[in-house]
Structure formats: structure tokens, C-alpha cells
A = this chain, B = another copy of it.
Amino acid sequence: MQRQAIAWRKAGRRVVLVPTMGALHDGHRRLINMARKKVKTNGIVVVSIYVNPKQFNDPKDLKDYPRTLSADKKLCREESVDMVFAPNTLYEKDVSAGVKEDDLTTRLEGLHRPGHFAGVMTVVAKLFNLVLPDFSVFGEKDFQQVTVIKRMVRDLDYPISILVGPTVREADGLAMSSRNVLLTGDLRDQATVLSRAIELSRQSLGSRAVDIKRKLKRFIEKQPDAQVDYIEFVDTINLNPLKTVKKGSRILLAAKIGPVRLIDNGLL
């Protein structure tokens, strides 16, 4: 991969990377379309597909994570992706160096998934060095991840612009996620409560966050198999929690729907 990347660089081609863990859906398709639009037909769109073990804190989540490589490759062909980079592994046996962050990653997902963001940052740093892109596209659905990656790019001076693609939703509001296929039976219906909670929060501008969080938690947990991990209203830049639900802030939430842990977020 790196040799190819160096050849593109020498040829003056602009390269955009879309890092994924596969099980591609229309949310990914949207990111790939953004990537293509950015570099036009003369540029190179690379989609990486790698279920990165280092970012899973829960071995069962890693085991159950959907893997659909041939369908993924088909989607990439449909979208005229120039290269699918799907390595078997990216780590040496005695790997010991990586990227860490000690502010943004200490909260929210970072609290509930120890080691997750160090794993994400490390694999993204590696992909940046292997693919040498000018741009890289991430999905807004993983809002904290986007914030953390932007911080890494800033603090390590990567010469890469980060583009953010919007969350794509099913007709009933459920945010597209590779893990949605694990929502069996009526869990799929119950899962719509997350986007409905976000809608509900939009009626609460000016209220105390602590009150709305309590209310939304009750609302979500009315579903028989739903259990909230966190609900937080945050500043969009530094992810600091806000005391008041304000226009321009963002609601981030995580909940388990049966055995499936989902996250979602929305701008207020």
C-alpha cells in the first residue's frame, strides 16, 4: 500500500482516504461520494476496510462485528473507488508504540470503552502514514471520534484535512450503523428511541441539562430492552458538558438495546 501511495504522491495525484471497518452501508456510501467530489476524477479515492482489534474493549463486540468483505468490494466498485485497502493485520506481534490523548478521550465513549480511542487514533495514524492522503473523511455519527481525530491531526501536525460526512438515517430515524444488523426481532423497532430522544431534546432549548437528561433517560428506558450509558449536552469543539441546553450545542448519547450498544448524536 505504502509503495503505491508514494507513487501517487510522486505523480502529483491527490489522495483521499475513507477509513472504515467494513460492513458498508449508505452512510459509508455518502462518505465515499464526498471523497470523490473532493478530488474529482483525476484524484485517488482509497477505502480502507479493517476491523481494528485494538479499538474494541469488549471481545464479544469484536467477535460479533459484521464482516461482509465481498459486498463491501461490490459497493466500492459501484462508487468507482480506486483502491480498497483491506489488510489482514496492521500490527507486529510485539507492537508497543501508539497514539494517546488525555483530554477529549477521558469522557463519554472514552469512559465507557477504556482504550477505545487510543486504538482508533493509533490505527488512523498508521493508515495516514500508509496511504499518505491529502484528505480523510469521517462520519459525524461518531462525533467524539471526529473531534478526537481532528485533535490528533492538529497536535501531531498531520498534513491532512479532515472532512466530515453527515449521519445517514433509515426512514424511521435510526442512524445507519454496521451494528444495526445485530438488532434482531423487535430490538430494531426499540432502537428508534435514540433518534426520537434527540428530536425531543430539540424542544428543550434553555432548560437545565440535568433535568432534560433525566427526562430523556426515562423516555429511552421505557423501551423494555433499552439501557442508557450516557446522555450529555456538550460544546461541539472541546466536548465540555454544558449546564444549559443551548442552540448550537450537541447532544451525544449511548445506550444498549438488548445486547447491541448504539450511539447517536444531533446538533441542537
Contacts and interface: CB of A to CB of B under 8 A. Distances in A.
Contact of A97 (B91, B100, B130): B100
A227 to B, nearest CB: 30
B156 A129 contact: yes
A148 to B, nearest CB: 8
Interface residues of A, number: 37
A94 B98 contact: no
A199 interface: no
Interface stretch (A28-36, A37-45, A119-127, A135-143): A119-127
B97 A151 contact: yes
A96 B92 contact: no
Given A9-B9, A10-B12, A12-B10, A2 B157 contact: yes
Contacts of A94: 103, 238
A24 B187 CA distance: 66
Q: Which 5 A-B pairs have the closest CB atoms?
A: A96-B103, A97-B155, A97-B101, A129-B157, A97-B152
A6 interface: yes
A99 B97 contact: yes
A146 interface: no
19 contacts: A2-B157, A5-B159, A6-B159, A92-B155, A96-B102, A96-B151, A97-B99, A97-B100, A97-B101, A97-B121, A97-B155, A98-B99, A98-B155, A99-B156, A100-B100, A122-B155, A125-B156, A129-B157, A130-B159
A95 interface: yes
A154 interface: yes
A111 B125 CA distance: 27
Given A95-B155, A100-B100, A132-B159, 7 more contacts: A90-B157, A96-B104, A97-B100, A97-B121, A98-B99, A98-B155, A130-B157
Contacts of A125: 156
Given A100-B97, A101-B96, A151-B97, A157 B6 contact: no
Contacts of A95: 155
A91 to B, nearest CB: 8
Interface in A1-59: 2, 5-6, 9-10, 12
A65 interface: no
A158 interface: yes
A181 to B, nearest CB: 31
Nearest to A131: B157
Interface centre among A90, A101, A129 (most CB of B within 10 A): A129
B100 A98 contact: yes
